[in-house]
Amino acid sequence: MKRAIILILIFAGISNITFSQDIILKKDETEIKAKVLEITPEGIKYKDFEFQDGPTRTIRISEVSMIIYQNGRTEKFELAPKETEQKEKAKFKANYFMIGVGAGNGYGGFGLRLQFRVGGVVGFGLHGGIGYTPGIFTRYDVWETTIYNDPIPPENYIRPTVGVKFFPFKNLYLNYQMGFHGDGRLTGSALIGVDANWGVKIGSGFNIALGITFLDTAYGENGIWPAGDMGFIIRF
């Protein structure tokens, strides 16, 4: 009889130890055996269950998914709307400097382009580039020769460009840019495109855009041609 009473007391003691602890479940799926003391908007204050005479510790609520109390009651913690928004923003880098190498109106032909972006999900940017445009790609020379029957030889250009971008959503943009030719002629281009890039601190990806170009020809006439950009980009 005495042995049975002793066993019952031992079992009761073990059960009391097992179920009198609070369990803090973290979002990384680790557990903390604790005695929860206080919950504030900033964090959860607790004692280590196996060292309750020790210091009071604090863990941020953003790190905790749930508390299982000693009586079996549970309390779940979810991100507040503001925290969720901040977490989403952290995934998207809105302010950056970018270098691109490629071909198209924004690259001045085959060339280099520099760009910076500011704002948030909606943002603005400026870019400038310089490139080499072989005469075979200056289609307005071909257009002038055909229309006016004037044998104008195609010319090669070193062409600088500048432009402004409006980002209505993240990396999607509307772009207007100007290209300057060695003979003083200008081209204006309107494009819609995307600067797709991946990475946290430093990212890489590609740039692609399509649109139209307005050409100021040597004869004072205006022409409209398809325009586009395509290149490899590195974001800082």
pLDDT digits (tens, 9 = 90+) for 100-141: 999 988 898 899 999 999 998 899 999 999 998 776 555 444
- What is the token pair recorded at 185? 């002629």
Would you say residue 17 has pLDDT above 50?
no
Q: What is the mean pLDDT of residues 199-221?
A: 78
CA atoms within 13 A of residue 49's CA, in its CB half-sphere: 17
Residue type present at position 18: T
Residue 155 pLDDT greater than 90, yes or no:
no
Place of tokens 């995307």: 194
Which segments of 27-156 are extended strands (E)?
31-39, 43-48, 57-60, 64-68, 74-76, 96-104, 109-119, 123-133
Contacts within 8 Å (CB) and 24+ apart, 86-90: 89/120, 89/121
Domain 90-235 coded CATH 2.60.40:
no
- Contact criterion met (CB below 8 Å) for 58 and 45: yes
* Strongest mean pLDDT among 91-95, 98-102, 134-138, 200-204: 98-102
Q: Classify residue 120 by its DSSP letter.
A: S
Q: Which pLDDT value is given to residue 207? A: 95
Contact 131, 157 (CB under 8 A): no
Tell if the pTM clears 0.75, that is, is over it.
Answer: no
**Placement of tokens 């400097």 in the chain:** 97
Domain layout of the chain by residue ranges: 22-78, 90-235
The least confident of 19-33, 48-62, 95-109, 137-151 is: 137-151
